[in-house]
Amino acid sequence: MLEKMQNIDRRIIWGVLLLGVSIPLFVPLGLPISISPHTRAFYEFIDALPPNSVLWFGTEYSAGSSGEINPQMAAVFRHAMSKDLQVILFGMWQDGPAMARDVVDPIAEEMGKTYGVDYVNLGYKPGTTSVLRTMVTDVWAGSANVDINGDSLSKFPLMDRVRTIGPDTIDAVIVYSSGSPGDGDYLTYWTDKYGMNLLTCQVAVQVTSRMPLLQSGQHKGMVPGLAGAAEYETLINTPSVATQLMDSQSAAHLAIILFVILGNVAFFGSQVRKGGK
């Protein structure tokens, strides 16, 4: 028996791992998710905002990062809509606003929100940081006066409220960041300079580099990677894709731990049987 445990067919191991990864995608396990202080601070900041507060979503990411960032955006946008907040989406990355549209439009429709009143997607605007500097004094000019669909901003009541960028018009800037340009540019040209609130949703590999900014208070909160998205889904009591994927990851980890334990039990048991130490 001990020898068999030490020589488990690798096909069995891979099969168990495949089941561990796959089953939670179809049957959620509901494994416990601990909430990091950074995600909780982010959630509490948004939750405390009064109705009709305006959030700016900087969609600064590409398709390669969408697996982490799209679930983050879905959870935060759902929270914002449930609080009757208003959202303006914008991007200095070409793919960001288009991918964000696929995330937020179905949620807005589900929650009975109106485009142009509750949220607007300004789309991709070339020029990187020069666009940010222009928008400080004239958001409409920086957006070429059109949204992602090419429609005039004059059609949207929300945009009448936001002609300039500052703490009087934007209650919080939320940057979905996978590189540069990203949250560092918003911090330099908007939030630090004009005393605005900055929160970020980061891909996992960038989390550690943002810790000093959280400690200094320059970032008011952060949703870290896919795990952070699952944490946010837990906080808003709406488990979705991120929670399923974390269940899948956790199940795979548990399977690996089980095989490690079985292998060690078999090895040391066989040594004892042979009279070894």
pLDDT at 122: 98
- The pLDDT assigned to 266 comes to 67
Instruction: Give the angle subtended at the CA of 67 by the CAs of 216 and 32, to the nearest 5°.
Output: 75
Question: What was the pLDDT predicted at 2?
Answer: 57
**CA–CA separation, 130 and 197 (whole Å):** 21
Q: What is the pLDDT of residue 226?
A: 92
The type of residue at 221 is G
Sites in the chain below the pLDDT cut of 70: 1-7, 9, 13-14, 16-32, 245-255, 259, 262-263, 266-267, 271, 273, 275-277
The two three-digit tokens of residue 11, written as one number: 């096909």
| 148 within 8 A of 201, measured Cβ to Cβ | no
> What was the pLDDT predicted at 34?
86
The Cα 232–Cα 97 span in angstroms is 21
Q: Which of 37, 40, 21 shows the shortest CA–CA distance to 29? A: 21
Question: Burial of 165 by CB count in 10 Å (0-12 exposed, 13-18 middle, 19+ buried)?
Answer: buried
Alpha helices in 120-240 (DSSP H): 129-137, 139-142, 157-161, 183-186, 192-194, 207-216, 225-235
- Can you give the pTM of this predicted structure? 0.84
How far is it, in rounded angstroms, from Cα 268 to Cα 51? Answer: 63
71 in Cβ contact with 241 (< 8 Å):
yes
Rg value, the chain, Cα: 23
pLDDT of residue 159: 98
